[in-house]
Amino acid sequence: MADKDKSIGIVETRYYTFAEPPDALVLESGETLGPVTLAYETYGKLNSEKTNAILILHALTGDAHAAGFHKGDKHPGWWDNMIGPGKAFDTEKYFLICSNVIGGCRGSTGPASINPETERPYGLAFPLITIKDMVNAQARLIDHLGIDKLLCVAGGSMGGMQVLQWVVSYPERVFSAIPMATTIVHSPQQIAFNEVGRQAIMADPNWDDGNYYGRRLPVKGLSVARMVGHITYMSDASMKDKFGRREKNEKGPFKFGAAFEVEGYLQYRGDNFIKRFDPNSYLYITKAIDNFDPSDGQGLTGILKGAPTRFLIIAFKSDWLYPAYQSQEIARSCKRAGVDTIYCELNSTYGHDAFLVEVDEQTHLVTHFLQRVSEGVRET
C-alpha cells in the first residue's frame, strides 16, 4: 500500500462531454462519434500563466485514476508512486491531468457505452479508433481546461505512443515529451501477442460477436488474454525472483490445476482483470496500438524536423515486450531531426513493468528534466 502521508489524498473522477449533435468527433477512419465523454482527473494547481500543465497518458489497461485515493479505496492510482508532493511529477509545482482514452471502459465513451441511435450498448457497432483519435479527443479536453500549451506529455507503453502522437499532431502545443518503454510501430511479435489475446476473447462462447451486454460475459476469454499479456509485462529474471519453481501448498483435486505459484498468480491476475475491464474495449484498444504508426511508414525524422519539443526517452534493459532498441530508434529519429533529446536506458529486472515500479531512477531523471524544461519556458 502507498504511503498516504505522501499521497495527494482523496481525489474524484470528473467527466467532460463534447461532440454533441450536430457536432461530432471525426475519426481517422472517416467515421464520426458523438457525443463523446472523457473521464479525467487533475492533481495540483494550474498557475496563472497556465504554463505548468502536464498530461499523463495511460497504458493499455490503465484509466484516469493515476494518483491519490478514491474514497473508500485501499489502493491508490496506478502511478501514485510518481505523482504527488515532492515526487517526480510534483503536484506542488505542476498541474497534472490524466484522462481515460476513448474506446476504454473506465468512464470514457467506448463499446460498452450507449449508442444514441439504438439506445443499446455499441458493441461492435462502435467505430474502430486509433491512437491519433485518442489524442484528438484529449486535445478537446485540454481546450476545455483553457490550456493552450502543455509543459509536458508523459507516459509508458501505449501511453508513450500517445506521447509521440501528441508531438506529431500538436507540436506547437507541447513543450516537452517523456515517452517510456514504447515504440514507433509494433513489431510482428508485438502484434502476434495481441492477436492471441483477441482470439482468446472471441473464442469464448459468451462473446457472441460482442453482444454480451446484460448477459454472461466472456470472462474466460478475457482472463486468458490478460494472462498472456501479463507474461509479457514481466521478465525471466523477475518471474524467477518472484516465483521460482515453488509449488502451491494446496494444489486441489484437478490434475491440471495451478500446481506452481506462477500458475496461481496468472489465474489471480486474470480473474481480477475481468472485474474491471470490458472485453470489447480490449479488442479495440489492442487493435489501435497494433495499427499505430504516427509517420505513416515514413519514419519520425522528417515529421519531427525542426520540432521545438524537448524529449526525455526512457527504456529498460530487461523489457522484452518493448525492447530498448525500439526506444533507441525513437531517439535516433529525434536527433537526426535536430530535436533536443536525452536518451536513458535503465538497468532493471522488472521487464516492461519497470516504468511503473522503478521509481528512484525515473524520479531523478524526470525531476531534473522538468526543471530544465520549466526554466526554458520562463525564459521564452
Helices (H), the chain: 131-144, 158-169, 188-203, 219-233, 236-242, 261-273, 279-291, 300-304, 324-336, 354-357, 359-379
Phi, psi at 296, each rounded to 5°: 55, 40
Statement: residue 1 has pLDDT above 50? no
**Residue of 66, 313, 338 whose CA lies nearest to 184:** 313
Q: For the whole model, what pTM was predicted? A: 0.96
Residues sharing a CB contact under 8 Å with residue 349, sequence separation 6 or more, in sequence order: 235, 237, 238, 241, 318
CB neighbours of residue 374 within 10 Å: 18
pLDDT band at 251 (very low <50, low <70, confident <90, very high): low
Statement: residue 317 has pLDDT above 60? yes
CB neighbours of residue 314 within 10 Å: 27
Mean pLDDT of 60-86: 96
**Residue of 269, 285, 286, 275 whose CA lies nearest to 217:** 275
Quote the CA–CA distance of 242 and 262 in Å, as a whole number.
8
Mean pLDDT of 325-336: 97
Active site residues: 157, 319, 352
Q: Report the run of H or E that residue 115 belongs to, with start and end.
A: strand 114-115
Task: Please give the share of the chain, as a percent, with pLDDT higher than 70.
Answer: 98
Which domains, ranges and CATH numbers included, belong to the chain? 4-185+294-379 (3.40.50.1820), 190-287 (1.10.1740.110)
The amino acid occupying position 230 is H
**Residue of 137, 142, 274, 282 whose CA lies nearest to 199:** 282
Task: Tell me the pLDDT tens digit for each residue of 255-305.
Answer: 787 888 999 889 988 999 999 999 999 999 999 999 999 988 888 999 999
Which of 32-36, 39-43, 52-56, 299-303 bottoms out in mean pLDDT, i.e. has the lowest? 299-303
| Residue 334 near residue 313 (C-beta atoms within 8 A) | yes
The amino acid occupying position 13 is T
Statement: residue 2 has pLDDT above 60? no
